[in-house]
A and B are shown apart, each in its own frame.
With several copies, the nearest count.
Chain A
Amino acid sequence: MSIAVRFENIVKEFGTVRVLHGVSFELPRGGVYGLLGENGAGKSTLMKILSGYEQPTEGAVFVDGEARVFNNSRAAEAAGIVLIHQEFNLAEDLTIAQNIFLGHEKKRGWWLDDAAMRTETARVLAQVGLDKNPDMPVRHLIVAEKQLVEIAKALARNARLLIMDEPTASLTPGETEALFRLMGRLHEAGVTIVYISHKLDEVERTTNEVIVMRDGRFVTRRPTAELTRREMANLMVGRELSDLYPPKDPSPAPSSAGAMPRLKVVGMTVPGWAQDVGFEVMPGEILGFAGLVGAGRTELFEGLLGLRPHSVERIELDGHEIRIRNPREAVAQGLTYLSEDRKGKGLHVGFGLRENLTLMALEHYAKPWLRPGDEMRALQTAVKDFGIRTGSLDIRASSLSGGNQQKLALAKVLHPKPKVIVLDEPTRGVDVGAKRDIYFLIQRLAREGHGVIVVSSELMELVGLCHRVAVMRAGRLEAMVDAQHLTEEELISHATGTKN
């Protein structure tokens, strides 16, 4: 049933840039392996080679002791090797069922057997806990649901070696638990699993052994049981990491004490998504938003920015009532939003880094003509400030690794120097080192007097970082948890509605 894999001296070059420098290691059959490494370490690239999406420049992949060359994913899948992509690979116009079976359609004679594919899709969707009609176009799904479809797609392939590249990056605890149960069942059935994640607690929980990569090289492998999370983190970044979270500053005085909130929202309704939500964030405050997938947080803020039809009683910025009909007005008033959907809403992946960085603040560079020199300097600063790892500044955003794209997106929304920033899943796909950088950055922003709102599905992150956390459930604001009561258990109980 299960298969074993061995990499031998795998080298991969894109053009003339070498991103894998002769990686060799082995994945004995039946294990659950955690693959760790900083952003850009080459994890995804190596796994794409294993699963037929990329071809190695040099070296060979041995499957069950036999050298194999997979020219495309179908060949790899025929050998039982299936990859769940870090970036979504779904055709938006097709339905869930059509996507799940794309390239592997079930047929009856000449004709597609849609009924069978629908049934099978319903089955795998149930396994991953997604309650959607298989005939729904993927376009209508939210990010987390797309991630679940990606996982379901892999399940429909009867994998013997399943590679999961950050499957939980956009999942909340509920779905994550369901996924772990699923992994457990697959493991019992003898499937070899490779699990890539920057959430070290998950790696700790689910894997037998971790393999660490750095800068395109194999570094080490250790049984998971022998390692603490901190040790994992240190191995990844190759140096001693101090605390992940910055020390918390005291909560700023609440508006009930007479202080002026930075942003105050009263009676916000986004039809079909969020009902009558109100909140405020003080200068210097970090306000978290927790909730299960589908709680309506993303849509609440998209509504606030005018990206969805909505109604609102009152929005105040620094005590002045304002109106926001579109993101442009929001930026003009000093409010920016980092989308959770990096590829679809956050970055122009076909653009250069410079053009992405300055897009929201172009008026600063247009006097009246744009100055590429100034933009370039801004990029250099941003690359330094945000720790964006890239060989050259003159590449397209699509050639950055996932985590580095996230940093670029963050730099982009901070570039117009907003007073209030809404960060939706700011550390998705970011490695621990970079995560730490982002947390410190968020704290710095708060210290500078910004109002910071962090929407996150990582409860640890909210607990570690925020002064207060708003919990949403089914479109309503369920609770506002203050610093004293901030624990993961508390948040989960509100989010799931089990708090009495």
Chain B
Amino acid sequence: MVEGRLERARSFGSWLHGVGPVVGLALLCVAGTLLNSDFASLDNAMNVLTRTAFIGIIAVGMCFVIISGGIDLSVGSMAALIAGLVILLMNTMAGWMDQPILVVAIGMAFSVVLGAAFGLAHGLLITRGRIEPFIVTLGTLGIFRAYLTYFSNGGAITLDDSLSDVYSPVYYTSLAGVPIPVWVFLLVAIAGGVILNRTAFGRYVQAIGSNEQVARYAAVDVDKIKVLTYALLGACVGIATLLYVPRLGSSSPTTGLLWELEAIAAVIVGGTALKGGAGSIAGTVVGAILLSVISNILNLTSIISVYLNAAVQGFVIITVAFLQRRK
């Protein structure tokens, strides 16, 4: 009896807690609709979701890394470098062969493989090299962007027009009224949720973040799992990039700037603790959407000085976090 009540109280508490970002998002949506009726249009919703897709997909991968007790500051640079390399590869291949579709397909595969490889390198430096993830990825943050700048001479690397025509539907087409990036985002999020909550790997990730020592004693291959989380994040960055390239068909040293902060913020706003141990993919998705809705609303209205946009974002983030603060 008593316990039943307790359980209910507790699960209500944790429900409220989990539901914090959702409440925040709902309030924002109401505010958005009041400020500009176009906010609630389907087109706008699709725009917002589509542009959330990149950060959202990266945030899903980041969620694993953060739950396992790690961090990755390099994702923005990594995305930019992958985009640049993929474009260079596709442009080169287009000179050799005459099947743009094949070229694009190879480019897309390359994007994911490259991302996973970069993630793997991070993982190995962190586990074998025994270096703090913060340092490793701060280092590669600089390295990736520097190489992109080097390859592009500081300018933009641009996809050939012929390829661009073949590739751009990947970003601009809709299936059943929903743009492809949103579908991919959805699939990645579902896959992430399933992996985190329904596989041994996901359980191990949580166990490592909660207490690495205990996990090691419990026969968890801590190093392997950590390497895998970084590789998984890398693959997510690769997927985000393969959706990003057809959008503007170019990569430049400004591509992906501060994505790391956005992705980490999405995860944390979504209710995952920075120290790891536990977290939720659903929360992360909501967090990512919430962040892009804020700037969408700011773009749709002009009630506040443009100078203060960042301030509004700051206030909203803090407020949402306050709504879901832990007891």
Nearest B-chain residue to A103, judged by Cβ: B218
Say yes or no: A359 contacts B216, CB within 8 Å.
no
> Does A439 count as interface, using CB distance less than 8 angstroms?
no
B203-253 with Cβ < 8 A to chain A: 203-204, 206-207, 209-211, 213-221
Distance in angstroms between the alpha carbons of A133 and B6 in the assembled complex: 13
A53 and B204 alpha carbons, distance in the complex (Å): 18
Contact in complex: A369, B194 (CB < 8 Å) = yes
Q: Closest chain A residue to B222 by CB distance?
A: A326
A347 contacts which chain B residues (CB < 8 A)?
214
Contacts of B209 in A (CB 8 A): 93
CB distance from B5 to the nearest CB of A (A): 5
A369 to B203, CA, bound (A): 11
* Complex: chain B residue closest to A363, CB-CB: B200
Q: Is A140 an interface residue (CB 8 A)?
A: yes
User: Chain A CB within 10 Å — which of B7, B206, B207, B214 has the most?
Assistant: B214
Is B2 engaged at the interface, CB distance under 8 Å to the other chain?
A: yes
Q: Please report the C-alpha to C-alpha distance between residue A350 and residue B2 in the assembled complex, in whole angstroms.
A: 23
The answer to whether B219 touches A344, judged by C-beta atoms less than 8 angstroms apart, is: no
- Bound together, the chains give a CA A363 to CA B202 distance in angstroms of 12
Does the CB pair A327–B216 fall under 8 Å? Answer: yes
If A107-B200, A370-B200 touch, does A17 touch B211 (CB 8 Å cutoff)? no
In the complex, which of the residues A111, A344, A392 contacts B214, with contact meaning CB atoms closer than 8 Å? A344
Distance (whole angstroms) from the CB of A356 to the closest CB of chain B = 9
A368 touches B199 (CB 8 A): yes
A348 to B198, Cβ gap below 8 A?
Answer: no
Q: Which of B6, B198, B217, B218 contacts A370 (CB 8 A)?
A: B198
Q: Is the CB of B206 within 8 A of A93?
A: yes
What residues of chain B lie closer than 8 Å to A326, measured between beta carbons?
Answer: 219, 221
Q: Which of A87-140 contact B (CB under 8 A)?
A: 89-94, 98, 102-105, 107, 110-112, 114, 133, 140
A498 is an interface residue with CB less than 8 A from chain B:
no
**B278 touches A (CB below 8 Å):** yes
Q: Known: A105-B203, A362-B203. Is A93-B214 also a contact (CB below 8 A)?
A: no
Taking CB atoms, residues of chain A closer than 8 Å to B7 are: 133, 392, 394
Contact A328 B220 (CB under 8 A): yes
CA of A363 to CA of B204 in the docked complex: distance in angstroms?
Answer: 11
**Which one of B9, B197, B218, B278 contacts A359 once the chains associate, using CB atoms below 8 Å?**
B218
Q: Which residue of A lies closest to B3 (CB)?
A: A391
- Do A307 and B203 have beta carbons less than 8 Å apart? no
Whether a CB of chain B sits under 8 angstroms from the CB of A346 is yes
Whether B5 and A93, one on each chain, are in contact in the complex, defined by CB atoms closer than 8 angstroms, is no
Give every chain A residue within 8 A of B211 (Cβ-Cβ).
89-92, 344, 348-350
Near A by CB (< 8 A), chain B positions 169-222 give: 194, 197-200, 202-204, 206-207, 209-211, 213-221
Q: Indicate whether B277 reaches chain A with its CB closer than 8 angstroms.
A: yes
**B221 touches which of A52, A89, A328 (Cβ 8 Å):** A328
Please name the residue on chain A nearest to B6 by beta carbon: A16
B325 at the interface (CB under 8 A from A): no
Within 8 A of B (CB), among A118-167: 133, 140
Q: A337 is contacted by which of B3, B213, B217 (Cβ under 8 Å)?
A: B217
Q: Are A111 and B199 in contact (CB under 8 A)?
A: yes
The 7 closest A-B pairs by CB, nearest first: A74-B219, A103-B218, A91-B210, A93-B210, A93-B277, A362-B200, A327-B219
Which A residues are closer than 8 A to B by beta carbons? 15-18, 52-53, 72-75, 77, 85, 89-94, 98, 102-105, 107, 110-112, 114, 133, 140, 272, 307, 326-328, 330-331, 336-337, 339, 344-351, 355, 359-360, 362-363, 365-366, 368-370, 391-392, 394, 412, 416, 475
A sample of 20 cross-chain residue pairs with beta-carbon separation below 8 angstroms, ordered by A number, consists of A15-B6, A17-B6, A89-B211, A94-B206, A102-B203, A102-B215, A103-B218, A111-B199, A112-B199, A327-B216, A327-B220, A328-B219, A330-B219, A339-B217, A344-B213, A348-B211, A350-B210, A366-B200, A369-B198, A412-B218
